[in-house]
């Protein structure tokens, strides 16, 4: 027997019967046994004798060997089709998927949501989940073959019908169809994850598969309770990124369904309400095998595809690690700031680094949670080679801070700028409404604040707050920082992000998640917070944010508390501002200054200078003396004589002085120094040139 | 004033920072180092007596320009100087793997008094002439031995002390005075006498209080400031270093900001060096010196906000008088 290669008999037989539209009762009748016996086979309580297996093979019209091996499905002639959901009986119409409007169809949003979902579904918690984004532009024969496999021709009338409506979705659909007809080119964006759970579970009832493929707003996150999202909105970004609302999926399951794991394939299309051939259709459609069961007649269900089909659908998974590949057909960046393939590639890399730098950092205490890559191709040829997203290159200071924490390499107080300071920030978790009352403010959770110096002037002086799978919730600018604080970047880790154990960790995680709006972008008052927790929850969130600010102030330095002696009212009057800016208006008159000097030495050692002057507005003409001196490190500077002074623009030379007419704002002159007056050789000197008010006989 | 070099120098930016400090071998908390202020504070480092502080320095040079240019054997030096003691120490930086230059420099306590300047110089060989300065960092760092907070801007010291029985014996002769201003030291200091006028210092420290208290506080502080600015100005213009042609140089330390703030009011519309020259002439030769006093008073009055404070005071006295008559 070679059963170890095949799947269990029961699920296999159940599926074959369904595919052949033979009921259990019918099989029992044809085999001449009771229906209970067939049922026992299917649920796995018993296996038929070889004689019955041969008869089953006969009934199914296949080789008896296939019944023994059970490595493939029989009757592969079940045609793949699109099943469009019929219109609602109540006449309701949806002109688009409401959840999709909650997001901008922006590549960065897609990268954020899809990658977060992959992170939340990490399977083996000792390894990072790998995500791989592949942009693939196809045209010509590549496109034709792909569309054929998709049965595009069957879809086209639905598209044309949907595009005919005068609704928001219809108009953009129309433009997309026209563009496809004109350019015969489309962009596929594939989002793969490996070491993730995959689309497990039954076809229609609760499970990951149904949550993603069949339902709206079903979060179904069960894997670790660390999950980032909780609204089930994220997946809709996949469809929102497709101009055609079309996404194909191929999943390798982490736990078998129908006894199998590899190549569970289905497609889903989101269109607005439409009528085709006088039939009204509600919205979504699915691509797969027609269901032969009585409960779901004709509905397209996922099928176990062969390798050739997944290759033709651009859904081939290079290795057998569990996870899912989503293929977004007609991908685009609605924000419009990534037009070319290279732009989109870079935007994906950037978005992944921005959103998930923390998950990609690993250390001794905990490894990296995520490994992300981006590749760009055109018609099967690599255009931009696989690029691994490197958190350190885009967020050096933040990554360094987190790495130091994970390596237990932080300090309580910094003695050099590169060090990472660490302190605790308390968060008190209010008890749940139905939980017993506790003394005090609630359970204390100690969040971790990390702070280090940064050179990044743009994103300085912020605290990146995260929880769960190191998911960034918000960037906070601490208030009341002491003036003149050195640029820093800080990370706040709360809940599971601390990588700590203890009851408080999960409590804090749940508490903070409850305080987040659907965008998961801040900790603030939410309905969930007030309806689940006892009074005081809102204040605890506010307290927490204040504690964060306080901890930052403590780590950047206690400078604010240092005051110098003396009454404040007097200090105010005795302030020396080194800028030398007077509060008076009379300074605004300004003075003539040297704007630039162009100087060179000639062979005799004399300096030749061309000097530009800037002059303030004045009613009188200027009489200025150009002065040349040699610069010295300390002491008096030796003056050198001019052997020649010539006017260039807007001035005249008289007796070694410059005469500049009133109202002139700029002037220039040229001068040559007299080497005989040089105290040292010109080559060894540094020359200073200034203009001062002529002193008449003062010299 | 702009300087010209007789050879090509670096155009790109030369910058540097103090990355860490150790005092007698133990690391100094980084709160004593301010990158923004470019200042290191060495006072109250945890021990009163210390001998050597080591500053670790990292510099960034325009590497590409340096490599492409006519210079060879570039050397990067950190230089620690203090005018008051004429101390000068240098430390050589070496290029490390990441392309920056790193090194350390020692500050020996005995060589310094108040505040040392830390500068960075790049020298190289050019036309077979070694040691030519081809670049310096735009802004120096300060290493301050007298402060605990690394701030660049220095404030005028205000000391509250009992002149009659306090620790400072030299104040005894002034025991009748409510305050005196001293400008001989490195930092000008206002001494407030806690025993001449009972309660005056407390009123100065107060924040609210009656209208009369406010009036007293504002007027007294303005008066003290007037004295301080006048004294500081006179000290700042004495003992100026002169160039060979008799032009005074701008003095360093606190004197520079004082002159920059007051000269435009003393001699309006004049270039700073011109104004300094004029004042120095009058002071040393005597003519026009007394005329200058009026302007100095005017400038000090502006700094102590005399007019504004008087206007407020007058208004409040008027309203008190009206309130009393009703």
Residue A589 pLDDT exceeds 60: no
Query: Are A117 and A167 spatial neighbours (Cβ–Cβ below 8 Å)?
Result: no
Mean pLDDT of A437-451: 85
- From the CA of A646, how many Å to the nearest CA of chain B? 19
Using CB atoms and an 8 Å cut-off, which of residues 83-122 of chain B contact chain A? Answer: 83
Query: Tell me, what's the pLDDT at A223?
Result: 44
The whole-number mean pLDDT for each consecutive block of 10 residues of chain B, a chain of 326 residues, reads: 81 90 86 83 74 92 89 92 87 90 92 89 90 89 81 78 87 92 84 88 82 88 94 90 82 85 86 86 85 92 91 85 60
**Backbone dihedral region of A64: left (phi > 0), alpha (psi from -120 to 50 degrees) or beta?**
alpha
Can you tell me the distance from the alpha carbon of B233 to that of A55, in angstroms, rounded to the nearest whole number? 115
Please, which contacts does A639-642 make with residues 24 or more away whose CB atoms are closer than 8 Å?
A639/A677, A639/B243, A639/B244, A639/B245, A640/A607, A640/A673, A640/A674, A640/A677, A640/A678, A640/A679, A640/A687, A641/A673, A641/A674, A641/A676, A641/A677, A642/A671, A642/A672, A642/A673, A642/A674
Residue A514 pLDDT exceeds 80: yes
The domain A586-698 is placed in CATH, from the list 1.10.357, 3.30.70, 2.60.40, 2.30.30, at: 2.60.40
For A81-117+128-200+229-388, CATH gives 3.30.565
Nearest-Cα residue of chain A relative to residue B130: A684
In B, which residues are within 8 Å of A683 by CB distance? 6-7
* Helix axis angle, B255-266 to B211-237, nearest 10°: 100
State the greatest distance between any 2 C-alpha atoms of chain A, in Å, as a whole number. Answer: 135
- Confidence at A97, pLDDT banded by 50, 70, 90: low
- From the CA of A685, how many Å to the nearest CA of chain B? 7
Can you tell me the distance from the alpha carbon of A151 to that of B284, in angstroms, rounded to the nearest whole number? 101
- Confidence at A561, pLDDT banded by 50, 70, 90: very low
Query: Tell me, what's the pLDDT at A212?
Result: 83
Can you tell me the distance from the alpha carbon of A14 to that of A193, in angstroms, rounded to the nearest whole number? 30
Query: Tell me, what's the pLDDT at A588?
Result: 44
Which residue did the predictor score with more confidence, A91 or A346?
A346
In A, which residues are within 8 Å of B154 by CB distance? 576
pLDDT tens per residue, range A207-263:
888 888 877 756 665 444 455 555 566 778 888 888 888 999 999 988 888 777 888
Can you tell me the distance from the alpha carbon of A203 to that of B106, in angstroms, rounded to the nearest whole number? 74
Query: Are B55 and B158 spatial neighbours (Cβ–Cβ below 8 Å)?
Result: no
What burial class does residue B48 get, using C-beta atoms within 10 Å of its C-beta: 0-12 exposed, 13-18 middle, 19+ buried? exposed
Does B155 lie at the interface with A, CB-CB under 8 angstroms?
Answer: yes
Which residue did the predictor score with more confidence, A227 or A543?
A543
Can you tell me the distance from the alpha carbon of A657 to that of A655, in angstroms, rounded to the nearest whole number? 5
The domain A3-69 is placed in CATH, from the list 1.10.260.40, 2.60.40.420, 1.10.10.60, 3.20.20.70, at: 1.10.260.40
Nearest-Cα residue of chain A relative to residue B3: A688
Q: What is the DSSP string of A510-564?
A: HHHHHT--TT-------HHHHHHB-TTHHHHHHHHHHHHHHHHHHHH-SGGG---
A379-403 core/surface letters (b: 16 or more CB in 10 A; e: else): eeeeebeebebebeebbbbbbbbbb
* Helix axis angle, B255-266 to B272-285, nearest 10°: 90
Using CB atoms and an 8 Å cut-off, which of residues 285-304 of chain B contact chain A? Answer: 302-304
**Backbone dihedral region of A416: left (phi > 0), alpha (psi from -120 to 50 degrees) or beta?**
beta
Say whether B158 and A564 touch across the interface (CB within 8 A): yes
CA dihedral A578, A580, A584, A590 (to 10 degrees): -170
Closest C-alpha among A133, A7, A154 to residue A66? A7
In A, which residues are within 8 Å of B305 by CB distance? 573
DSSP letter at B126 equals E
Say which residues have a Cβ less than 8 Å from residue A127's Cβ, sequence separation at least 6.
A195, A367
Nearest-Cα residue of chain B relative to residue A698: B281
Say whether B260 and A580 touch across the interface (CB within 8 A): yes
pTM score, two decimals? 0.61
Query: Tell me, what's the pLDDT at A203?
Result: 83
What burial class does residue B26 get, using C-beta atoms within 10 Å of its C-beta: 0-12 exposed, 13-18 middle, 19+ buried? exposed
The H helix count followed by the E strand count for chain A is 19, 26
- The whole-chain average pLDDT of chain A stands at 83
Can you tell me the distance from the alpha carbon of A148 to that of A313, in angstroms, rounded to the nearest whole number? 9
Does B270 lie at the interface with A, CB-CB under 8 angstroms?
Answer: yes
In A, which residues are within 8 Å of B273 by CB distance? 690, 692
Does B242 lie at the interface with A, CB-CB under 8 angstroms?
Answer: yes
pLDDT tens per residue, range A383-394:
999 999 999 888
Say whether B1 and A688 touch across the interface (CB within 8 A): yes
The fraction of chain A above a pLDDT of 90, given in percent, is 21
- From the CA of A367, how many Å to the nearest CA of chain B? 26
ipTM exceeding cut-off 0.85 for this assembly: no
Domain chopping of chain B, boundaries: 15-144, 157-316
CB atoms inside a 10 Å sphere around CB B311? 11
Say whether A414 and B155 touch across the interface (CB within 8 A): no
For B15-144, CATH gives 2.60.40
Question: Which of B228, B260, B271 has its CB closest to that of A574?
Answer: B228
Look at strands A370-378 and A129-139 and give their pairing: parallel
Can you tell me the distance from the alpha carbon of A619 to that of A617, in angstroms, rounded to the nearest whole number? 7
Can you tell me the distance from the alpha carbon of A619 to that of A661, in angstroms, rounded to the nearest whole number? 9
Query: Tell me, what's the pLDDT at B46?
Result: 62
Of A566-575, A603-612, B238-247, give the range with the top mean pLDDT: A603-612
In B, which residues are within 8 Å of A658 by CB distance? none
The fraction of chain A above a pLDDT of 70, given in percent, is 89
pLDDT tens per residue, range A101-128:
556 668 888 898 889 888 888 888 888 9
Residue A560 pLDDT exceeds 50: no
CA of A425: how far to CAs of A378, A422, A450, in Å? Answer: 50, 10, 10
Query: Are A647 and A631 spatial neighbours (Cβ–Cβ below 8 Å)?
Result: no
Structure tokens at A281: 């259709």
The H helix count followed by the E strand count for chain B is 7, 15
Question: Which of B19, B150, B153 has its CB closest to that of A418?
Answer: B19
Nearest-Cα residue of chain B relative to residue A598: B4
Token pair 């688009």: residue: A96
Domain chopping of chain A, boundaries: 3-69, 81-117+128-200+229-388, 411-561, 586-698
Please, which contacts does A121-125 make with residues 24 or more away whose CB atoms are closer than 8 Å?
A121/A193, A121/A196, A121/A197, A121/A198, A121/A208, A121/A221, A121/A223, A122/A195, A122/A196, A122/A197, A122/A223, A122/A224, A122/A369, A122/A469, A123/A195, A123/A196, A123/A197, A123/A198, A123/A223, A123/A254, A123/A322, A123/A323, A124/A195, A125/A224
State CA B91 to chain mean position distance. 25
- Confidence at A562, pLDDT banded by 50, 70, 90: very low
In B, which residues are within 8 Å of A570 by CB distance? 158, 190, 204, 221, 224-225
| Partners of A639 in the β-ladder | A629
- Confidence at A372, pLDDT banded by 50, 70, 90: very high
Can you tell me the distance from the alpha carbon of A131 to that of A108, in angstroms, rounded to the nearest whole number? 15
Question: Which of A485, A569, A685 has its CB closest to that of B221?
Answer: A569
Mean pLDDT of A426-451: 85
- Confidence at A582, pLDDT banded by 50, 70, 90: very low
CA of B222: how far to CAs of A551, B174, B302, B314, in Å? Answer: 39, 20, 10, 14
Query: Tell me, what's the pLDDT at B77?
Result: 94
């Amino acid at each position: 027997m070679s059963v170890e290669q095949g799947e269990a008999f029961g699920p296999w037989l159940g599926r074959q019967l369904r595919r052949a539209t033979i009921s259990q009762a019918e099989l029992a009748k044809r085999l001449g046994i009771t229906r209970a016996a067939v049922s026992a086979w299917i649920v796995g309580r018993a296996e038929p004798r070889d004689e019955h297996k041969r008869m089953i093979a006969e009934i199914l019209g296949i080789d008896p060997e296939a019944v023994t091996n059970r490595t493939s499905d029989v009757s592969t002639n079940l045609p793949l089709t699109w099943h469009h959901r019929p219109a609602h009986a109540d006449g309701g119409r949806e002109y688009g998927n409401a959840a999709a409007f909650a997001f901008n169809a922006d590549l960065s949003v897609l990268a954020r949501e899809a990658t977060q979902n992959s992170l939340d579904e990490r399977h083996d918690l000792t390894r990072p989940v790998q995500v791989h984004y592949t942009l693939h532009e196809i045209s010509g024969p590549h496109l034709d073959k792909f569309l054929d496999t998709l049965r595009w021709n069957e879809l086209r009338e639905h598209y044309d019908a949907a595009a005919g409506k005068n609704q928001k979705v219809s108009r953009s659909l129309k433009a997309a169809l026209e563009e496809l007809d004109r350019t015969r080119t489309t962009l596929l964006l594939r989002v793969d994850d490996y070491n993730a759970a995959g689309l497990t579970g039954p076809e229609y009832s609760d499970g990951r598969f149904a949550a993603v493929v069949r339902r709206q707003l079903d979060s179904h996150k069960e894997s670790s309770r660390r999950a980032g999202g909780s609204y089930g909105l994220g997946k809709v970004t996949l469809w929102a990124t497709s101009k055609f609302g079309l996404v194909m999926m191929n999943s390798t399951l982490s736990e078998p369904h129908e006894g199998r794991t590899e190549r569970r394939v289905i497609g889903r299309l989101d269109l607005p309400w439409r009528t085709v051939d006088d039939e009204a259709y509600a919205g979504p459609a699915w691509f797969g095998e027609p269901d032969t069961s009585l409960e779901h007649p004709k509905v397209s269900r996922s099928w176990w595809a062969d390798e050739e089909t997944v290759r033709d659908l651009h859904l081939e998974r290079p290795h057998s690690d569990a996870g899912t590949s989503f293929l977004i057909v007609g991908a685009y960046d609605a924000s419009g700031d990534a037009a070319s393939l290279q732009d989109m590639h870079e935007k994906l890399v950037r978005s992944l680094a921005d959103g998930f730098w923390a998950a990609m950092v690993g250390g001794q205490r905990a490894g990296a949670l995520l490994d992300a890559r981006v590749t760009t191709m055109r018609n099967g040829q690599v255009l931009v080679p696989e690029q691994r997203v490197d958190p350190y290159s885009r967020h050096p200071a933040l990554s360094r801070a987190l790495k130091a924490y994970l390596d237990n390499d932080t300090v309580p107080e910094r003695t050099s700028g590169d060090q990472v300071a660490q302190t605790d920030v308390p968060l008190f978790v209010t008890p749940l409404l139905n939980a017993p009352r506790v003394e005090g403010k609630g359970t204390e959770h100690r969040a971790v604040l990390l702070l280090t110096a940064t050179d990044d002037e743009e994103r300085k002086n912020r605290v990146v707050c995260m929880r769960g799978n190191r998911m960034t919730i918000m960037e906070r600018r601490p208030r009341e920082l002491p003036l003149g604080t050195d640029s820093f970047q800080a990370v706040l880790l709360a809940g599971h992000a601390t990588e700590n154990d203890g009851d408080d960790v999960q409590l804090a995680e749940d508490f903070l998640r409850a305080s987040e709006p659907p965008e998961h972008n801040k900790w603030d008052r939410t309905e969930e917070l007030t309806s689940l927790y006892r009074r005081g929850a809102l204040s605890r969130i506010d307290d927490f944010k204040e504690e964060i600010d306080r901890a930052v102030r403590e780590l950047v330095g206690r400078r604010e508390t240092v005051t110098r002696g003396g009454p404040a009212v007097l200090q105010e009057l005795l302030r020396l501002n080194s800028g030398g800016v007077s509060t008076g208006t009379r300074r605004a008159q300004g003075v003539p200054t040297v704007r630039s000097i162009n100087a060179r030495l000639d062979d005799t050692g004399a300096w030749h200078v061309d000097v530009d002057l800037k002059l303030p507005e004045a009613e009188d003409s200027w009489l200025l003396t150009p002065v040349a001196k040699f610069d010295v490190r300390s002491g008096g500077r030796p003056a050198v004589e001019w052997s020649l002074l010539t006017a260039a623009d807007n001035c005249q030379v008289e007796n070694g002085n410059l005469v500049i007419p009133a109202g002139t704002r700029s002037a220039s002159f040229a001068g040559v120094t007299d080497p005989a007056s040089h105290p040292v050789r010109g080559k060894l000197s540094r020359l200073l040139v200034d203009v001062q008010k002529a002193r008449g006989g003062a010299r | 004033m702009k300087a010209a070099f007789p050879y090509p120098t670096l155009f790109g930016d030369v910058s540097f920072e103090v990355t860490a400090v150790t005092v007698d071998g133990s690391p100094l908390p980084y709160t004593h180092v301010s990158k923004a202020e470019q200042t290191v504070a060495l006072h109250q480092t945890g021990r009163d007596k210390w001998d050597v502080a080591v500053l670790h320095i990292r510099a960034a040079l325009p590497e590409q320009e340096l490599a492409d240019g006519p210079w060879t054997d570039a050397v990067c030096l950190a230089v620690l100087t203090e005018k008051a003691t004429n101390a000068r120490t240098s430390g050589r930086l070496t290029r490390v793997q990441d392309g920056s230059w790193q090194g350390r420099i020692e500050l020996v306590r005995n060589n310094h008094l108040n505040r040392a300047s830390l500068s960075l110089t790049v020298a190289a060989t050019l036309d077979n002439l070694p040691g030519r300065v081809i670049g310096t960092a735009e802004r120096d760092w300060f290493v301050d031995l007298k402060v605990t907070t690394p701030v660049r801007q220095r404030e005028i010291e205000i000391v509250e002390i009992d002149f009659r029985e306090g620790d400072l014996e030299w104040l005894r002769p002034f025991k009748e005075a409510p305050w005196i201003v001293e400008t001989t030291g490195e930092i000008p200091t206002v001494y407030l006498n806690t025993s001449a006028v009972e309660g005056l210092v407390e009123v100065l420290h107060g924040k609210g209080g009656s209208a009369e208290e406010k009036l007293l506080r504002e007027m007294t502080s303005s008066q003290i400031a007037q004295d301080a600015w006048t004294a500081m100005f006179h000290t700042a213009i004495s003992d100026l270093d002169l160039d060979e042609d008799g032009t005074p140089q701008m003095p360093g330390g606190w004197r520079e900001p004082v002159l920059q703030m007051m000269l435009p009011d003393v001699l309006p519309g004049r270039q700073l060096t011109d104004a300094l020259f004029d004042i120095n002439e009058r002071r040393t030769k005597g003519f026009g010196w007394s005329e200058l006093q009026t302007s100095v008073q005017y400038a000090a009055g502006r700094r102590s906000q005399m007019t504004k404070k008087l206007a407020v005071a007058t208004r409040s006295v008027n309203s008190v008088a009206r309130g009393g008559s009703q």
